[in-house]
Amino acid sequence: MQFYNQNLHSRLLLGTAGYPSPDILIQAIHASEAEIITVSLRREGVGGSEFRQLIAKTKKRFLPNTAGCHTVKEAVTTAQMAREVFETNWIKLEIIGHADTLQPDPFATVEAARILSKEGFEVFPYTTEDLIVGEKLLEAGCQLLMPWGAPIGSGQGLRNIEGLKTMRQYFKNIPLIIDAGIGAPSQAIQAMEIGFDAILLNTAIAKSKNPILMADAFNKAILAGRIAYKAGLMEKRNMAYASTPAYGLADLSL
């Protein structure tokens, strides 16, 4: 798997907010085997430098994000600052357009993606399953898309699975990462079984009773879902289909 020409083995991207303690966060990172860790520039405000140094010790790759931004200017400025702080061109672009659902603003996201791509950023855009918005983001310079499964932190899973299936079929050669809404390993498996390339998680692990065990569970679930997709799932049928043939059964009518 490649994101912006970077080879990766893990298909789990892990967020860092809301963990009970820094020690549990670090243990969860190791249990998840994630190679990409998302971090918010806003964490730099209080104790940010110490937090960044703590995460850096895991030897994982930083993916700073523009969480909490609501305008193009705010997101671009945050991305520019994040590049200086975290020393990476990678940026998860997140511009919120609706306060209750935290749905991304498609117009602002496309505009900001175009500006950031021209400035040399490698953009990971938080979007919806809308195909037109996806096309516009690719035209703006993005090389992957991050559609939501459901609203951030809701744990609803894949709320529009048919739309996500269509997106996967339409963007056949584009890396697609489910970002937001996954609340259980079974939901992550479902996303991987329909062909998505990776899952970005935070709340489902951080707010579980045992984040370390849950990180391990998601790691294994995502791997299982990917293997199942590669193996090829059986087709669903409307009626039963006997797995044991009738041929060879004893003829009791004689």
**What is residue 240's predicted lDDT score, i.e. its pLDDT?**
80
**Residue 76's pLDDT band (boundaries 50, 70, 90)?**
very high
Helices 161-170, 131-139: axis angle to 10 degrees equals: 40
User: Does 7 appear as a known binding residue?
Assistant: no
Sole residue written with tokens 């039963």: 240
Per-residue burial over 36-72, b = 16 or more CB atoms within 10 Å of its CB, e = otherwise? bbbbbbebbeeeeeebbeebeeeebbbbbbbbebeeb
Q: In what order do the strands lie in the sheet with 122-127?
A: 146-147, 122-127, 90-93, 61-65, 36-40, 12-15, 198-201, 177-179
Confidence (pLDDT) at 206: 95
Q: Categorize the per-residue pLDDT at 253 as very low, low, confident or very high, splitting at 50, 70 and 90.
A: low
CA distance 195 to 185: 16
**Whether this model's pTM surpasses 0.85:** yes
pLDDT in tens, 150-196: 998 898 999 999 999 999 999 999 999 999 999 999 999 999 999 99
Mean pLDDT estimate for the chain? 91
The pLDDT of residue 45 is above 60: no
Distance CA 114, CA 108 (A): 10
Per the annotation, the verdict on 172 as an active-site residue is no
Amino acid found at 136? K
The set of residues, in sequence order, having a beta carbon less than 8 Å from that of 235 and lying 6+ positions away, is none
* Residue 232 annotated as part of some ligand binding site: no
Q: Give the per-residue pLDDT at 48.
A: 59
User: Which range (29-33, 99-103, 166-170) has the least confidence?
Assistant: 99-103
Asked whether residue 203 is marked as a ligand-binding residue, the answer is yes
Q: What percent of the chain has pLDDT over 70?
A: 93
Q: What's the pLDDT score for residue 172?
A: 93
Q: Which residue has the higher pLDDT, 24 or 41?
A: 24
Domain boundaries, the chain: 8-231
Tokens at 120, concatenated:
């040399």
Residues above pLDDT 90, as percent of the chain: 74
Question: What is the pLDDT averaged over residues 189-216?
Answer: 96
- At the topology level, CATH places domain 8-231 in TIM Barrel (3.20.20)
DSSP-derived 3-state class of residue 212: helix
Please give the average per-residue pLDDT across 105-129, as a whole number: 96
Query: pLDDT tens digit string along 123-147?
Result: 999 999 999 999 999 999 999 999 9
Q: Is 108 annotated as a binding residue?
A: no
How many Å apart are CA 222 and CA 204, to the nearest integer?
14
> Could you read off the pLDDT of 223-240 as tens digits, one per residue?
999 999 999 988 888 888
Q: Which of 57, 60, 92, 209 is flagged as catalytic? A: 92
60-82 mean pLDDT: 94
